[in-house]
Homo-oligomer: A and B are copies of this chain.
Amino acid sequence: MPEILYDFGSGRSDPETFPKEALKNAVSRVLDREGLELTKYPGNLGHEGLRKAMARRESEREGVPVDPAHLILCNGSMQAVTLTAEALQVNHGDTVIVEEFCYPGTLSAYRGLKYDMVGIKLDEGGMRIDHLEDELKRLQNENRLPRFIYAISTYQNPTGFVMPKARRLEMINLARRFGVPIVEDNCYGDVHYDGPIEPAIYALDGDPNHIYMCSLSKILAPGMRLGYILARPPMLEKILARRFDAGSNTFAAAVVAEFYRDGIASHAAVANPVLKDKRDLTVAMLKEHLDDICVWSNPVGGLFIWVRFPDDVDRGKLWKTTQAAGVNYITGTSFHYKAVNAPYLRLAFGHLTREQIAAGVPILARLLKEARGSNEPRTFENLFI
């Protein structure tokens, strides 16, 4: 395997802003103060200090009170995704609604749990409400309404789209009309660059059936494996009843609670500008090298840029030549809920250096052009097919 020199594949933050020294200091304080907590089991909800810190994080972002007793700490938000899907499933083959292009980890978990996925078309505002309504009607007629609607409504993965508040309210209305809970995955929450911050669905609707999940993998580090579910009773109890792992890591939770004891704003103020700068550079490089044949998203947060390329690109050839040149990305197919081959790729820009971005995009551009059957300019103006 050739070495990957330009890894646009993995959705990770900037390694340089990882707060190594601050965490070292936090560990000393935590072990002195709470060392004995480590000799106990964490319980199903997990470390109280981190739940309080994350309730504060949510309250500060969303402007609503959040009860730490409604937070369930998880092993990253992927445990949140899996646990929720397990708790809501009644039978193998149950239906779930997802975005047509969606995070592969979630698709893989739902597939593994034997859910039948129904994908909803996306536009620049996220899930299209007209298509969501059509599919809910169809599924109701077929007597197999979905167990839930899964949506990454902010900085959607892979597209980077944000669902505007008005559309969130429409989605909430549809969910109520059909009696289907929304599972909102806000794992990129707080990785924000510019523009307004749209409210989370739980902040817009008191329906106790909606479930929210968030993570520290993107704003802090995935190796800490800290995410959480926000759920209100009786949904809270329903989820906990399916949890059998004796609770989440107290050590990591206690250290991160200490690190974020005064809120997450000061750390986000260091980490996000570095990412925003890389987003700007990536977009600038795309503009310089691919504007004639591609279009792409310009995300206001999160870690990904979604690129549409011409239909006449030989995708197998593109994959081979880019891998050989050390350029990694994730194919559009990987994100499609039915793994349909589609003329897209996703670029993650968070953990590369500026130099890697500046050198990698031109190579990708050249190989995209070489994998085409023509030299024609693109014939499309938007990201959707």
Residues of A within 8 A of B (CB): 10, 12-13, 15, 18, 20, 23-24, 27-28, 31-32, 35-42, 75-76, 78-79, 81-82, 105, 108-109, 112, 217, 221-225, 241-242, 244-252, 255, 351
Contact = CB atoms under 8 A, between A and B. Distances in A.
A79 to B, nearest CB: 4
Nearest to A81: B244
A221 B38 contact: yes
A252 B221 CA distance: 13
A23 B108 CA distance: 36
28 contacts: A15-B36, A18-B35, A20-B35, A24-B27, A24-B28, A24-B31, A38-B221, A38-B222, A38-B223, A38-B224, A39-B222, A40-B222, A41-B222, A42-B223, A75-B75, A75-B249, A76-B246, A76-B247, A78-B244, A81-B244, A82-B245, A105-B244, A105-B246, A224-B249, A224-B250, A225-B246, A249-B249, A251-B252
A40 B223 contact: yes
A83 to B, nearest CB: 9
Contacts of A81: 244
A9 to B, nearest CB: 11
A109 B249 contact: no
Contacts of A76: 245-247
Instruction: Report the 5 A-B pairs with minimum CB-CB distance, sorted nearest first.
Output: A223-B250, A38-B223, A109-B244, A78-B246, A15-B39
A248 B225 contact: yes
A223 to B, nearest CB: 3
Given A223-B249, A251-B251, A255-B251, A39 B23 contact: no
Given A75-B75, A242-B112, A36 B10 contact: no
A245 B245 CA distance: 12
Contact of A39 (B36, B223, B246): B223
A162 B39 CA distance: 25
